[in-house]
Chain A
Amino acid sequence: MTDTLLARLTPIFRDIFDNDTLTLRPSMTAAEVDGWDSLANIRLFVAIEVALGIRFSAVEISGLANVGALVALIERKLAG
Chain B
Amino acid sequence: MNWEPASLSWLPEAPSDFRDRCRQVSGSGAGRALRELASHRLDGAHLHRLAGGLARVVAGGGSLDPLEPFRLGLLSNGTTEMLIPALAASALRHGLALEVVAAPFGQVAEEMLRPDSPLRGRELDAILLALDHHGLPLGEGLGEPETAERARTAALAPLALVRSVAQAPLIVQTLSLPPETLFGHLDRRIAGTARHFAEDFNRQVAALGDVVFDVAALAESVGTAAWHDPAPWHLARLSFSQRFLPLYAEHIARLLAALRGKSRRCLVLDLDNTLWGGVVGDDGLDGIVLGPGSPAGEAFVEIQRMALALRARGIVLAVCSKNDEAIAREVFRRHPEMLIKEEHIAVFQVNWDDKASNLVAIAGRLNLGIEALVLLDDNPAERERVRQALPTVAVPDLPDDPALFPRVLSAAGYFEAVTFSDDDRHRADRYGEDNHRVELRERLGDLDSYLASLAMRVEFFSFDPANRSRVTQLLNKTNQFNLTTRRHTEATLKAFEENPAAFTLAVRLSDRWGDHGLIGVVIALPSGEDWEIDTWLMSCRVLGRKVEERILAHVVQAARAHGIAGLIGIYRPTGRNALVAELYPRLGFSPLSDGRWRLDLRAEEAMGDTRHAGGADGEGQQAELAV
Contacts and interface: CB of A to CB of B under 8 A. Distances in A.
A38 B243 contact: no
B81 interface: yes
B234 A39 contact: no
Given A43-B44, A47-B44, A61-B235, A18 B49 contact: yes
B618 interface: no
A42 B49 contact: no
Contact of B236 (A39, A49, A56): A39
Q: How large is the interface on B (under 10, 10 to 19, 20 to 34, 35 or more residues)?
A: 20 to 34
Contacts of B236: 38-39, 42
Interface of B, secondary structure class, is helix
A58 B232 CA distance: 7
Interface string A32-73: 000000110011001101100001111001100000000000
Nearest to A47: B45
B234 A58 contact: yes
Nearest to A14: B19
A62 B235 CA distance: 8
B564 interface: no
B81 A46 contact: no
A16 to B, nearest CB: 5
B232 A42 contact: yes
Contacts of A38: 235-236
B48 A58 contact: no
A57 B238 CA distance: 14
A57 B81 contact: no
B242 A46 contact: yes
Given A43-B45, A47-B44, 20 more contacts: A15-B45, A15-B49, A18-B49, A18-B52, A39-B81, A39-B236, A42-B82, A42-B232, A43-B44, A46-B243, A47-B45, A49-B243, A50-B43, A50-B243, A57-B231, A58-B231, A58-B234, A61-B231, A61-B235, A62-B235
A46 B245 CA distance: 10
B106 interface: no
A13 to B, nearest CB: 10
30 contacts: A15-B49, A18-B19, A18-B49, A39-B81, A39-B82, A39-B236, A42-B82, A42-B232, A42-B236, A42-B238, A43-B45, A43-B48, A43-B242, A46-B44, A46-B242, A46-B245, A47-B43, A47-B44, A47-B45, A49-B243, A50-B243, A55-B231, A56-B231, A57-B231, A58-B230, A58-B232, A58-B234, A58-B235, A61-B231, A62-B235
Interface residues of A, number: 17
B235 A42 contact: yes
Interface of A: 15-16, 18, 38-39, 42-43, 46-47, 49-50, 55-58, 61-62
Contacts of A43: 44-45, 48, 82, 242
Contacts of A55: 229, 231
Interface of B: 19, 43-45, 48-49, 52, 81-82, 229-232, 234-236, 238, 241-243, 245
Contacts of A15: 19, 45, 49
Most buried by B among A38, A42, A49: A42
A65 B236 CA distance: 18
A4 to B, nearest CB: 21
Question: Which of A18, A56, A57, A61 has most B Cβ within 10 Å?
Answer: A18
Of B52, B82, B235, which is in contact with the most chain A CB atoms at under 10 Å from its CB?
B235
- In the A-B complex, the 8 residue pairs with the closest CB atoms: A58-B234, A58-B231, A46-B242, A58-B235, A15-B45, A46-B243, A43-B44, A16-B45
Nearest to A50: B243
B241 to A, nearest CB: 8
Contacts of A46: 44, 241-243, 245
Contacts of A49: 243
B9 to A, nearest CB: 13
A62 B234 CA distance: 10
Contacts of A61: 231, 235
B413 to A, nearest CB: 22
A64 to B, nearest CB: 12
Nearest to A62: B235
A43 B19 CA distance: 15
A15 B52 CA distance: 13
B466 to A, nearest CB: 41
A49 B245 CA distance: 14
